Amino acid sequence: MNKQTLVYKPIGMLGGALAGVVAAAAFKRVWRVAAGSSQAPHATDPTRGWPEILVAAAVQGAIFGIVKATVDRGGAHAVKSLTGRWPD
């Protein structure tokens, strides 16, 4: 295992956890503004329709993907600045 991988592993793990927390908070805020509801629908909620549930899932997935990619890219840049090489 090379130096970049050893440095990146803990950064990636911490970043992944942080990304999940940030993405969840961002989704709650976006959903509150967009839908006017403080709670996003759960897939098993019998009072919500398919369109609302699927839109909520798509928005949540998009937000998580964007936040995760941003955190992963930032972690890779941090490793490069520490070691001089991009992580594998």
Between 20 and 88, whose confidence is greater?
A: 20
At residue 3, does pLDDT exceed 80? Answer: no
Task: List C-alpha distances in Å: 74 to 14, 82, 87.
Answer: 12, 12, 12
Between 68 and 3, whose confidence is greater?
A: 68
Residue whose pair of structure tokens reads 């930032």 in the numeric block:
74
DSSP letters along 7-49, please? HHHHHHHHHHHHHHHHHHHHHHHHHHHHHS-SSPPPTT-TTS-
* pTM, full prediction: 0.83
Contacts of 88 (CB under 8 A, 6+ apart): 2, 4, 5
Burial of 71 (0-12, 13-18, 19+ CB in 10 A): buried
Q: Would you put residue 84 in left (φ > 0), alpha (ψ -120 to 50) or beta? A: left
